[in-house]
Amino acid sequence: MKSTFSLLIAAVFTSALPSAAPTPGQPFYLKVVSDNALLSDAVLRDNNTYDLGITPPPYYSNPPYGDFPSPVSVSSTNASELIVSPTNPHPGPISGRLALVSAGEGDWTLSKAFPQPGEAWNVGPGKEGAVVRVYGWGFVDGEGVVGTVLRWVDGIKGRWIAVRTVVAPWEGAPYERWVLHWREASVGAPSPPVEYVDVDLKVSWTS
């Protein structure tokens, strides 16, 4: 039997090892890291909306517009591009991209973007003129977070926050969702009455 000291050294050594980033085509999930008990370790969920976020239980599960864990994978042609599963039933079966969509000065919503003719992106109703960024994702070892975390590495320094919203589905009652935003460092925190919490997004191999 190993001594307590040996086990402690092994644990410290293991925690110091760099975390493995996903490889092209390897499916993974994104989970929230937060001090908020409601959001901590919750998996990013996806339904017929474009913006991605965390839906507290009980989950909206009215088929085929249910709120389900959404697998992501690294593009085989561009390591800074992330592929998301097609939305069922609309507009599929087109593979979407994980995107940052402009939501105000220094504020970007984590969303799905679907390619359109003319090198345009469909990011949802009412967002036809929005700036869409799909190339620039990267993975780093989390500072104070066990594992690999998702970052936007293409020149826009910032942090992840989760903003409380109320979603009105096509069918069924409205429900709460905490939508993920990339908030640029230059603009600081959102102003009231926006309700938000600071979070991080870590890679998980299970939902």
From CA 193, how far away is CA 69, in angstroms rounded?
Answer: 29
List C-alpha distances in Å: 180 to 159, 160, 183.
10, 7, 9
Over residues 17-59, the pLDDT tens digits come to 345 789 999 999 999 999 999 899 988 877 656 788 888 777 6
Residue matched to tokens 């919503």: 109
Q: Residue 18 is encoded by which pair of tokens? A: 């760099």
Say how many Å lie between the first and final Cα of the chain, rounded: 34
Residue matched to tokens 């940052």: 100
What value does the mean pLDDT of the chain take? 81
Over residues 97-145, the pLDDT tens digits come to 999 999 999 999 999 898 888 888 988 888 888 999 999 999 999 877 7
Percentage of residues in the chain with pLDDT exceeding 90?
A: 44
The predicted structure's pLDDT at residue 125: 82
